[in-house]
């Protein structure tokens, strides 16, 4: 398990430790911006299934690459095999303005 996935799994485990939480949720939607390999979504779904044994779990992604669906299928998606660049992408020319706007918004809260 790579560093990226290990840290996410550890952080998610901390959030799911409360025994009361399993009584609250019966339908769960896992969302990813892009399912590239499917590994992160597969591991996320396994972790959620361990905690919410009787829950209906669906998967949504803005973009799904064909190779990811060899591991796990998305129930909902907008794009297939598409590179999506947005102001939130660090290589976007709008990234600095996006971060400033986000910081300004967070300061108002």
Of the candidates 57, 66, 1, the residue with the CA atom closest to the CA atom of residue 26: 57
Contact of 61 with 75, CB cutoff 8 Å? no
Taking each helix axis from N to C end, the angle separating 39-51 and 3-15, rounded to the nearest 10 degrees, works out to 20
The reported pLDDT for the residue numbered 16 is: 64
73's tokens: 């299928």
Q: Which residue did the predictor score with more confidence, 70 or 16?
A: 70
Task: Give, as one character, the DSSP assignment of residue 25.
Answer: -
Q: Give the mean model confidence (pLDDT) for residues 80-95.
A: 85
- pLDDT per position as a tens digit, 25-49: 789 999 998 999 999 999 999 988 9
Residue 2 has pLDDT above 50, yes or no: no
pLDDT at residue 108 tops 80: yes
Question: pTM for this structure?
Answer: 0.69
On the question of pLDDT at 22 being above 80, the answer is no
The answer to whether residue 57 scores a pLDDT higher than 90 is: yes
pLDDT at 66 over 90: yes
Position 53 scores a pLDDT of: 86
């Amino acid at each position: 398990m790579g560093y990226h996935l290990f840290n996410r799994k550890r952080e998610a485990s901390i959030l799911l430790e409360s025994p009361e939480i399993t009584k609250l949720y019966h339908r769960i939607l896992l969302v990813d911006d892009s399912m590239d390999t499917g590994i992160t979504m597969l591991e996320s779904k396994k972790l959620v299934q361990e905690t919410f044994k009787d829950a209906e779990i669906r998967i949504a992604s803005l973009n799904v690459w064909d190779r990811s669906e060899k591991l796990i299928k998305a129930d909902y998606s907008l794009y297939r095999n598409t590179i999506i660049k947005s102001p939130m992408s660090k290589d976007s020319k709008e990234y600095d303005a996006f971060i400033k706007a986000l910081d300004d918004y967070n300061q108002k809260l």
